[in-house]
Amino acid sequence: MSAPLLLTVRDVHAGYDDLTVLRGLSLEVRAGEFVALVGPNGAGKSTLLKALAGLLPVTSGEINLDGERIDGLPPYAIAARGLTLIPEGRRLFGPLSVRENLELGAFLPKAHARREETLRTILRLFPILQDKHSAPARLLSGGEQQMLALARGLMARPRLLCLDDPFLGLARSVTDRFCQAVHAITSEGITILAAGQHVRRLLRLATRAYLLEAGQVALTGPGPALLEDPRLSQTLLELGTGAWQRPA
Amino acid sequence: MALGFSMILGVSRSLNLAHGDLVVLGGYVGYSLWAAAGLSPVLLLPVAALALAPAALVWDWLLKRTPEPKELSSLVLTFGLSLLLQTVMRAIWRGEYRLIAESSLGASLQLGTLALNRGRVLAAVAALAVVGLLWLALTRTRWGQAVRATSIDPQAAALVGINVDGARRSTFLLALGLSGATGVLFATLHYVHPAAGVELTLMAIVLSIWAGVGHLRSVLAAGLLLGMIEALTVTGWGPGWREPVVALMLLGSLLARSGGLARGHAH
């Protein structure tokens, strides 16, 4: 835990028009970590990630990325500072080709300058994207689209990559490949903050995890240790989401 | 002109019912400068384009603030703007018919056995040049990449680092700039009057539906095709056939592709 702090979230309140979801949430992510966010539906996982990326306004509190305050900045300015969010539902540019989607991922000047090099690394991780590079993104299968969403996020060469429910609706075999890719990515020095419903899969991958409940941090610790903690299953079972029982 | 209309629809999901009126405004501005200062029409094009820049900023500002659903609320807003523009133009130019009757444009251009009106040739060349440049800008530049991504999914565009508001604003500036320049071309070929914009707006709407809403490439192709058929009709059968042929083509294509508007939205 001697790595420098990359992200600090302090006492953040945020939400939608009439609904405050995050109620004084605080957490931190150190450089090189894989941090998982788990918790029942409505606990604030997606809301936190959207607030980090600037898609939702932060009503109070502070978000710092590498020592620089980013709450209140527009999404493109946050992206330019090295935080990339791969949103829920992937949000690919459907009519554009796989290749064009990847190029758009490297839209920022810094990423653009190194896009050929990044592209080679990515196509080594996801050879399927090379085979389908001229196909429109919307014609890919669900798993391939998820790969493309991850690859597009990586094209930005982010310092912090935020993933919102990366396994949603994916087959086990696809998830495994996805996890391999994620491992390869972290070894290349990218920090990851991932939220999701698939608690077991996420916690096995994570170096550290936060359990969110009602817009606050309920529990934190190393991923596998959290998996053993009775309070985790209790929280998820009590709220009856079924996420815990679902075979991982 | 239909290009600008369709681009605005793409990036801001707004139907600009005042589009034709802005073209007419460009025509009037061009006419006044021509009558007062004797500027040549070629110079008038960029001047009229720049003259509509303030309008572009106002349109962008207003349409960004219209509530959801954008497609509907923008209709109400721009219908009001259309009436306002017509009234203002009537107050300034008194509803008179104006024509930029530049004598050099009326002269005919002899090409072998073909005699062409110079004004029409200028308009056609200008339109083709704009279509070509716009096509290059949209497919080959970072700006075009940003505009296309913004019209497909503004939120996803913002997440890859695109300044969505900037892309939207520059699209309005470009689209209304095109309207201003179109207005000058229009005024060299037809008389402009304050109510002339309604017809132009209809033309833009129909062309956009024809091409599929928000599909910039198709609008370029559709505009080009329509322009060519129009030109061939005029040279082949005479100018009297222009309007009926265009109207028939649009009607026919609408019947054939009745799902155009809905399909365009579904992407």
pLDDT digits (tens, 9 = 90+) for B85-122: 888 887 787 767 777 766 665 555 555 655 666 666 77
Interface test with A, best of B143, B160, B213, B216 (most A CBs within 10 A): B160
Q: How far is B50 from chain A (nearest CA, A)?
A: 28
Question: What's the pLDDT at B213?
Answer: 53
* Start-to-end Cα distance in chain A: 29
Residue B169 Cα distances to A115, B52, B179, B214, angstroms: 27, 13, 15, 17
Query: Does position A19 have pLDDT exceeding 70, yes or no?
Result: yes
Q: How far is B120 from chain A (nearest CA, A)?
A: 37
Mean pLDDT of chain B: 74
Question: What's the pLDDT at B109?
Answer: 57
State the ipTM, two decimals.
0.78
Question: What's the pLDDT at B106?
Answer: 56
Q: How far is B215 from chain A (nearest CA, A)?
A: 10
Which residues, 6+ apart, have CB-to-CB distance to B50 below 8 Å? B177, B180
Q: Kindly state the average pLDDT of the residues B25-50.
A: 78
Interval A189-223: pLDDT, tens: 788 888 887 787 778 778 888 888 888 887 887 87
Rounded to two decimals, the pTM is 0.75
Question: What's the pLDDT at B171?
Answer: 85
State the pLDDT confidence band at B264, using cuts at 50, 70 and 90. Answer: very low
For residues A61 and B1, which has the higher predicted lDDT (pLDDT)?
Answer: A61
Of the ranges A160-174, A189-203, B174-188, B198-212, which one carries the lowest mean pLDDT score? B198-212
Closest to A243 measured CA to CA, from A213, A206, A215:
A213
Query: Does position B155 have pLDDT exceeding 70, yes or no?
Result: yes
Chain A residue numbers touching B158 (CB-CB < 8 A): 54-55, 74-76, 79
Question: What's the pLDDT at B266?
Answer: 35
Chain A residue numbers touching B267 (CB-CB < 8 A): 94-95, 138
Tell me: cis bond preceding B69? Omega within 30 of 0 counts.
yes
Closest alpha carbon within chain B to A97: B149
Radius of gyration of chain A (CA): 17
Q: How far is B52 from chain A (nearest CA, A)?
A: 28
- Residue B236, number of CB atoms within 10 A of its CB: 9
Which residues, 6+ apart, have CB-to-CB distance to B218 below 8 Å? B211, B212
* 8 Å CB contact of B159 and A53: yes
Token pair in block for residue B210: 């024809």
Which residues 144-183 in chain B show a CB within 8 A of chain A?
A: 145-146, 148-149, 152-153, 155-165
Q: Which of A46-50, A147-151, A163-167, B21-25 has the highest mean pLDDT?
A: A46-50
Chain A residue numbers touching B160 (CB-CB < 8 A): 79, 84, 104-105, 107-108, 152, 156
Query: Does position B212 have pLDDT exceeding 80, yes or no?
Result: no
Of the ranges A81-90, A99-108, B35-44, which one carries the lowest mean pLDDT score? B35-44
* 8 Å CB contact of A104 and B160: yes
Half-sphere CA count of B138, side-chain side, radius 13 A: 26
